[in-house]
Amino acid sequence: MTKLAAIQMVSGPDIAQNIATIKRQLHLLRQDNPKEDMLVVVPECCLVFGTSDEVVIAKAETIGAGEMQAGLCSLAQEFNVYLVGGTIALKAPDGRNFAASLLISPTGEVLAQYNKIHLFDVDVNDGIGQYRESDATFPGQDISVIETPIGRIGMAVCYDLRFSALFRTMREQQADIVVLPSAFTKETGKAHWEVLLRARAIENQCYMVGANQGGVHENGRETWGQSMIVNPWGEVEAQIATGEGAVASDYDKQRIEAIRVKMPTLSQQRLTSCRLK
């Protein structure tokens, strides 16, 4: 049996404290599921959150080296899980950072790096008001679907959720599970988080694992929470409201296959998916 799990956090700017939070939740997950194969997803900005772009840039790491990458790899190995390390800031060529999500094996090996493609440049009716993620973040260019012993894993991050063509392309590449580390604002999360996660699961007949930030952060920003696991029929298998915590659910590969056979939407699609520009 394979378990899918999402850890919810209220991350701050201290890397060590955030690593300790993830470790605490992994320990609880392993207590409940001591022997199962497990895929665990942690939120966007998991190790540095709630601070200025300048501080994030100062803490950004070179790909393959640094405290954040080493910490996540160590946690995956210690708890023998496939770990999707939310996003961390890795240096990009133009002086900005990639919002990089790492898929790490139970041996601590980085299997894939997905760089967030769609950047959150929007106006929101909350205490912050204006978000311009592209000021400090370099957009990713590549879609990531990775073959693993527990299934084919597609990778996306937060604002990507609004762009259905990305998920359709991952479905065309045979993704069975899509992971979505996020930091949805309270306002956008309340309106759209659940409905979009369920829609992407239904459209693509896959499991969605959404790990969200969920609470009031040190800089006053408020995130929505409601981390959840959605099955390929669009049903919410498990969820948590706000605050630190974790949820887990069974992964049923046979259910995916049965749904795709009975309702073969991929082969019936008459429009070509949009491709990344």
Q: Which of 3, 44, 206, 237 is catalytic?
A: 44
> Alpha-carbon distance 197 to 126, whole Å?
22
Can 158 be counted among the known catalytic residues? yes
Residue type, 170: M
Q: How far is CA 48 from CA 89, 199, 219, 220, in A?
A: 8, 30, 12, 15
Is 203 tagged catalytic? no
d(CA 204, CA 199): 8
The single residue of 3, 46, 59, 116 carrying the catalytic annotation is 116
CA angle 223-228-233, nearest 5°?
Answer: 140
What is the three-class DSSP state of 132? Answer: strand
Q: In angstroms, what CA-CA distances link 8 with 94, 192, 227, 247?
A: 32, 18, 6, 8
- The CA distance from 179 to 158, in Å, is 10
The answer to whether residues 63 and 30 touch, using CB atoms and an 8 Å cutoff, is no
| H helix runs in 152-213, sequence order | 164-172, 186-188, 194-204
Q: Among residues 45, 73, 158, 206, which one is catalytic?
A: 158
Active site includes 78?
Answer: no
Q: At residue 184, what is the residue type?
A: F
Q: What are the backbone dihedrals phi and psi of residue 169, each rounded to the nearest 5 degrees, phi first?
A: -65, -40
Closest C-alpha to 203, from 179, 169, 159, 245: 169
Active-site residue numbers? 44, 116, 158
